Amino acid sequence: MVTTAADMDRSTSFIRSQKRRFPLKVVLSYTFDWIVLVILALIALAFEFIQPNRRPFSLNDPNISFPFTEHETVPTWLLVILSIILPAALVAIVALLFVPGATVPKGTPHSLVWRRKLWELHVGWLGLALALVSAWFFTQGMKNMFGKPRPDLLARCIPDLDNMEKYVVGGFSGEDPLGRLYSAAICQQTSKSKLRDGFRSFPSGHSSLSAAGLVYLSLFLASKFAVTIPFVVPSADQNKPRDHAAFPSRGAKQTAHGQHNAQILSIRRQAAAPPIYLLAATLAPFCLSIFIAASRWWNFRHHGFDILFGYLMGLLCSVYSFRYYHLPIQRGAGWAWGARSSDRAFWAGVGRVGYVQEPEMSSLLGKPEQNSDGARRHNPDIPPPPMGPPPNQVSHRPTNRTMEYDAGYGNGGQFHDVEMQRMQ
């Protein structure tokens, strides 16, 4: 399908009509999202000052007999810089410098471009905050619930060996005192915070926070720089033998084997691997998160399972937080989801699909409603009539409102300008 000049003018007019601020209801709904995250972060911070459950331990357990490391490889202040400040700064740089990209039509108002930049920045930060707060909230709560001793607990505890019998709570009650379990009351440590932290081994907070912040950053960079495994977008053209031929203009008859080879040759030209330097750039935050998590092992702060579980929990938080606000990397062209509709800013309810107003059926069929131009002027949520094929034709292209151009590809190949859709 070739886009006509009328279609171009209609879409350009629609884009220009979108130069408006977000409705107050939508602004308030996203403000409330930030408020909820701040409340959860404050609750997680409060967990730090609550006495955790303190699991009884043996004075003969080698797993908790490691020395206390005074100088950590990645102290808490450095963790905050690497896992929170660094990702937030890079998200801002990418959103402000590389968005909206080279597909912006000429003549697009600068105010609309900056709206897109600020929206991508806002959603990028919101997803990062969701990942970090989720990981921190779950980690802090689980630390207090489980009360698992750290590998350096005995070094923190300084047990009262002269009065051991007073603190026995379990274990073998024979003559050998090595098989007995003691309560935390046996500890003579004067620093309450140091002793309290000795029972917060599971799960690892450094591991979960580093994975949440830095893996999210890796996903964000991969999305914006189109770093993904090459893939082929399904289309009806793949079933046409002439499009599979190595040299379509020669018109030679092909055997079944020859058609298969031609299909492979045709498919291989539809995608390519991204440059290695971009792959390295997207993997760098991921590698840094692994280093931070591993440092907790040689600093004797956590057991191996604590580190692995914490990292997997942070990884899960980063993935779902990214997908919560961003399109899939392979098919999203680097964009975040748009804003919620004004009438669904706080609630969608039963019977509605999602938080964006569905277009009218007449618009989906290419039949504009009566007085639709006037309605769109008063209700920017109403989309323009689609520029797809007539209703009696089947289209295998995506149903999103995208513009298609003949980009000079052979056999009328088409280019989807997803930016025209996302600039609304």
Helix (H, G, I), strand (E, B) or coil at 333: coil
In angstroms, the CA 83 to CA 289 distance is: 8
In angstroms, the CA 326 to CA 378 distance is: 29
Q: Minimal CA–CA distance to 401: which of 413, 417, 414?
A: 417
Lowest mean pLDDT among 101-105, 141-145, 207-211, 391-395: 391-395
Q: Where are the beta strands (DSSP E) in 110-191?
A: 168-171, 180-182
Lowest mean pLDDT among 57-61, 100-104, 255-259, 304-308: 255-259
Higher pLDDT, 347 or 385: 347
Pairing of strands 403-406, 414-417: antiparallel
Beta-carbon contacts of 24 under 8 Å, excluding residues fewer than 6 positions away, are none
Q: With b meaning 16 or more CB within 10 Å and e meaning fewer, what string describes 40-54?
A: bbeebeebeeeebeb
**C-alpha pair distances (Å), 234 with each of 320, 327, 370:** 26, 18, 36
According to the model, what pLDDT value does residue 353 have?
Answer: 76
According to the model, what pLDDT value does residue 9 have?
Answer: 56
Confidence of residue 12 (pLDDT cuts 50, 70, 90): low
According to the model, what pLDDT value does residue 311 have?
Answer: 97
**Percent of the chain at pLDDT above 90?**
47
Q: Kindly state the greatest CA–CA separation across the chain.
A: 97
Helix (H) or strand (E) holding 103: none
Q: What confidence tens digit (pLDDT) does each residue in 265-282 have? A: 567 777 888 899 999 999
Lowest mean pLDDT among 65-74, 385-394, 412-421: 412-421
Helix (H, G, I), strand (E, B) or coil at 171: strand
Confidence of residue 116 (pLDDT cuts 50, 70, 90): confident
According to the model, what pLDDT value does residue 164 have?
Answer: 86
Is the pLDDT confidence value at 159 over 80? yes
Q: What confidence tens digit (pLDDT) does each residue in 17-26 have? A: 444 456 888 8
In angstroms, the CA 105 to CA 142 distance is: 51
Average pLDDT over residues 281-285: 96
Q: What confidence tens digit (pLDDT) does each residue in 314-323 have? A: 999 999 999 9
In angstroms, the CA 188 to CA 412 distance is: 80
In angstroms, the CA 130 to CA 137 distance is: 10
In angstroms, the CA 242 to CA 59 distance is: 78
**C-alpha pair distances (Å), 363 with each of 1, 366, 390:** 19, 5, 12
Report CA 98 to chain centroid distance, whole Å: 18
Average pLDDT over residues 206-233: 92
Does the bond joining 203 to the residue before it have cis omega, within 30 degrees of 0?
A: yes
Helix (H) or strand (E) holding 419: helix 418-422
Is the pLDDT confidence value at 242 over 70? no
In angstroms, the CA 26 to CA 41 distance is: 23
Q: What confidence tens digit (pLDDT) does each residue in 67-88 have? A: 999 999 999 999 999 999 999 9
Is the pLDDT confidence value at 143 over 50? yes
Q: Minimal CA–CA distance to 301: which of 185, 148, 159?
A: 148
In angstroms, the CA 157 to CA 144 distance is: 18
Contacts 24+ apart (CB under 8 A), 111-114: 111/19, 112/15, 112/16, 112/18, 112/19, 112/423
- Residue 105, classified by CB atoms within 10 Å of its CB into exposed (0-12), middle (13-18) or buried (19+), is middle
Confidence of residue 352 (pLDDT cuts 50, 70, 90): confident
